[in-house]
Structures are given as C-alpha cells and as structure tokens.
Chains A and B, each alone.
Chain A
Amino acid sequence: AQSVTQLGSHVSVSEGALVLLRCNYSSSVPPYLFWYVQYPNQGLQLLLKYTSAATLVKGINGFEAEFKKSETSFHLTKPSAHMSDAAEYFCAVTAGGANNLFFGTGTRLTVIP
C-alpha cells in the first residue's frame, strides 16, 4: 500500500531563507503526488501536483517540488520564505481507486521575521 512520510513536524526558517519540507513516499511509483497547504483556521488547498509529465513541478506562491524516483522523495522548496508562508503543509500520494489518497502527518512551517 502507498504511504508518505513527512520528516519534521515543525520547521522554522528566517524570512528570506530557503524553505525545504521533506516528503518520502513508499517504494512503488505513485500515479500522483500532491502538496497541500493549510492556513490557520482554513481547509486544505492544493499547492501543486505531480502527474509524471515532469519531475519538477511548480506550484502557487513560488513553491516547487521535485520528484526523485531514486530517492522516493517529493520535497517541497521555496527559495525565499515570506511571512505569509507560515502554515501547515501536507504531502499526499494517491493510488488506484476512489479511496486511495494518503496524507502525511503534516509539517508546520514557522517563518521568523
């Protein structure tokens, strides 16, 4: 079965610094990989989605993620953190069927001014 692991439940970065949030999926190559963002007191919204068309995926708000099959990873990055990036980020992987979207436990990003 598919699963995802997010390393680090909390990450703190300074404003303007690189953001790196880690996600690893289980060994079989999934059809889709997602990153979602959740701002305080809101629902989850899609940040970006990998569909095998390209290994580097660009999302909203300057975020991007690179699919690396050899490392079974799909890490999320942003070159320069902004205060508005403070939120919780979830990695998710899908498999076949209508009930096969699996979420990681989330990483809370704090941006220090």
Chain B
Amino acid sequence: NAGVTQTPKFQVLKTGQSMTLQCAQDMNHNSMYWYRQDPGMGLRLIYYSASEGTTDKGEVPNGYNVSRLNKREFSLRLESAAPSQTSVYFCASSDVTGGVTDTQYFGPGTRLTVL
C-alpha cells in the first residue's frame, strides 16, 4: 500500500498563476483533508471532505478550492496564486470511527513557492 500520495513534491509559481495539487489514498478512508504548514503556526486546515461528494471549509479556505473526485482522490486548486500562499501543503485521510475522527495518515507534502 502506498498510503497517501501527493503530486507534485515541489512547485514554483508566479503571482497570479494557477495550479492543482493532487492527492490520492489507497486505505479506503471516507475522510480527506488539506492542510498548510507555516513556520511557528503548526498545521492549519484548509478544506476537508467527510465523504465522497461533500466538501467543507476549514480554518483558512480563502484563495483555495477543492474537488473530491472519488473516494480515493481529493485535489486542491489555487486559482490565482499569491505570495501569502507560499507554504508546505499536506493531504491526509482518516476513518471516522463511532462518529469520532480517528488517526489521520499524511502524505509527504508539496512545497510551494509563489514569487
């Protein structure tokens, strides 16, 4: 099992460019998440998807859109990149056991720089 995979690993964009970060999991989890990680701020949730066909905003959704393409795949799109979106982006997936979020499994991350 590959677990959670993310592409690309690195990306450099110019301000105003768009891109899509891809994420896939092979653990048959219902829930998937996108986080960003910035120095001194820990992990901040951008969007999540509790199940196929549903998405909801997290703590910092502005400037991002997501698509839950199927149970395996959850993509994050930056429509018009800004320097403030320079960050490391992590995708994660988990089960919800008895109505409670269980262990989240993380991908290796995408390091994005916006110039």
Contacts and interface: CB of A to CB of B under 8 A. Distances in A.
B45 interface: yes
Interface in B37-72: 40-43, 45, 48, 50-51, 56, 58
Q: Name, among B30, B43, B50, B105, the residue most crowded by chain A CB atoms within 10 Å (CB to CB).
A: B43
Contact of B42 (A49, A94, A98, A106): A106
A42 B108 contact: yes
A30 to B, nearest CB: 9
B109 A98 contact: no
Interface in A44-58: 44-46, 49
Interface string B95-110: 0101111111111110
B104 to A, nearest CB: 6
Contact of A43 (B30, B101, B109): B109
B31 interface: yes
Interface of A: 9, 31-32, 34, 36, 41-46, 49, 90, 92, 94-101, 103-106
Given A90-B43, A94-B101, A100-B101, 16 more contacts: A9-B40, A31-B100, A32-B100, A32-B101, A36-B106, A41-B109, A42-B108, A42-B109, A43-B4, A43-B107, A45-B106, A92-B104, A97-B100, A98-B31, A98-B50, A99-B48
B42 A105 contact: yes
B75 interface: no
B41 A101 contact: no
A94 B100 contact: yes
A43 B90 contact: yes
26 contacts: A31-B98, A31-B100, A32-B103, A42-B109, A43-B4, A43-B106, A43-B107, A43-B108, A44-B104, A90-B42, A94-B100, A94-B102, A95-B100, A95-B101, A96-B99, A98-B31, A98-B96, A99-B45, A99-B48, A99-B56, A99-B101, A100-B101, A101-B101, A103-B43, A104-B42, A105-B41
